[in-house]
Structure 1
Amino acid sequence: MHRLYTKFGLPVIGLFEHLILIIITLATLVAIGQEVWLMISNRHVALADLLLLFIYLEVLAMVAVYAAEGQLPVRMPIYIGIVALARYLILDMKAMDDWRVLAVSASALLLAATVVVIKVGQSYFSTESDNGRSAR
């Protein structure tokens, strides 16, 4: 049973994995195109637009790292979350009450602290198998 799974199951899973990565890449490229078209048609570029493009860029980088290495550094989605929270603050700060601004800011700070903890943990507690890989 184990040999059958190794012979047929893993390649099928790998195929689906690559297919989903292609779908994510295409969907992200379409979203980038739509955002650029919106900026061109509005003849205006706002900071929120640029932050959204950075989110898309991070998604593409995440797909590239996953495709190249077969694993995803946990910090990459956290970076996306930090940028998304910053964008949310920029877009809706005037409509938010003080507690919501504080909560969103604290969330971004907590995510940033999480990145630092992960980075320090990788530096101090890496195993021999991690030595060949660079920390992201």
Structure 2
Amino acid sequence: MPVTEDENDGSVDAGRTEKLVMVAALGVIERGLLILVALMTLAATSVEVLSIIERRSVNLGDILLMFLYTEVMAMVAVFYTGKGLPFVYPIFIAITALARLIVLQGKDMDPQNIVLEASAILLLAIAAVVLLRFARR
């Protein structure tokens, strides 16, 4: 039997109202932060493109950095569209960041560190496959 306002002096309705206000406020904050992330990513992309134009050369590290920016934008888009699995995109970002680190510091890195980072990439890739495969069920 549901509790009515008469039986509980309105405290149940007040709790629901507070919950609705908090959910709405947190939703607005989340959307604002997502917009900020998208704008900051666009700004960082612009700075990187201008740097490439000034240098008049593109290297593999620059391309991987652009993939990182693209994946961040895709993650924001997934939150807005609801299509896709938002928790897989941070895994993709981590894989790309580790690959970029290996590419940029590969010659100067200890071979053991390269193997460890490559192992981390493999572990993340396996996690992404498992999440994508079993999340659809």
TM-score bin (small chain): 0.7 to 0.9
Deviations 1:48-102, CA, capped at 9 Å, x for gaps: 1011001000000100110222995211110011111111000000010110010
SS at 2:58 equivalent: coil
How big is the shift at 1:10?
A: 1.9
How big is the shift at 1:47?
A: 0.9
1:39 maps to which residue? Answer: 52
In structure 2, runs of 5+ residues without a counterpart are 1-13
1:28 maps to which residue? Answer: 41
1:129 maps to which residue? Answer: none
RMSD of aligned Cα (Å): 1.7
Q: Could you tell me the percent identity over the aligned residues?
A: 38
Matches within 5 A, 1:76-115: 76-115=89-128
How big is the shift at 1:120?
A: 2.5
Q: Which 4+ stretches in 1 moved above 4 angstroms?
A: none
Cα distance between partner residues in 2 of 1:113 and 1:7: 39
TM-score (normalised: structure 1): 0.84
Paired amino acid for 2:69: Y
TM-score (normalised: structure 2): 0.84
In structure 1, runs of 5+ residues without a counterpart are 127-136
Cα distance between partner residues in 2 of 1:88 and 1:9: 40
Partner residue of 1:5 out of 18, 23, 37: 18
User: Between Structure 1 and Structure 2, whose CA radius of gyration is higher?
Assistant: 2
Cα distance between partner residues in 1 of 2:24 and 2:128: 33
Q: Residues 54 and 20 from structure 1, CA distance in 2 versus in 1: closer, same or farther, beyond 3 angstroms?
A: same
Cα distance between partner residues in 2 of 1:101 and 1:74: 26
